[in-house]
Amino acid sequence: MLPIGSVIYLKDGTQKLMILNRGPIIESDQGKIIYDYSACRYPIGFDLEEIFYFNEENIDSIIFKGYIDDEEERLVDLYHKSMMNLDSGIVKGKVEN
């Protein structure tokens, strides 16, 4: 699990993305969907019209890894435990090319 602020390329991507969030849950026609990450274009920054949702397996390369401290490590541990106990109304999202 990458920390917030990490900069990555997605597979087949040509634009750097900066991670904004981990475990975002979005509402869609299919119900509640959770992804591993949300991101914005780097160095542009946050634009409500361009938020990217993706999972760990969609990352091609890590350009910069964000700040990590004890709180970050604890959060990652709690996140992994919570992912094993997802509410039945939330499904894991899949990214289509």
Q: Is residue 56 part of a domain?
A: yes
Residue 97: per-residue pLDDT = 66
Q: Is residue 95 part of a domain?
A: no
Q: For residue 27, what are the β-bridge partners?
A: 32
Note the pLDDT tens digit of each residue in 11-64.
Answer: 999 999 999 999 999 998 889 999 999 999 999 999 999 999 999 999 999 999
d(CA 47, CA 49) in angstroms, rounded, equals 5
Q: 20: closest CA among 35, 5, 36, 2?
A: 5
Q: Is residue 93 part of a domain?
A: no
Note the pLDDT tens digit of each residue in 60-96.
Answer: 999 999 999 999 999 999 988 888 888 888 988 998 8
CB atoms within 10 A of CB 42: 18
Q: Is residue 72 part of a domain?
A: yes
Q: Is residue 96 part of a domain?
A: no
Q: Is residue 81 part of a domain?
A: yes
Give how many domains the chain has, as a whole number: 1
- Specify the pTM: 0.89
Higher pLDDT, 32 or 97: 32
Q: Is residue 94 part of a domain?
A: no
Q: Could you write out the DSSP letters of every residue in 25-47?
A: EEEETTEEEE-SEEEEETTTB--
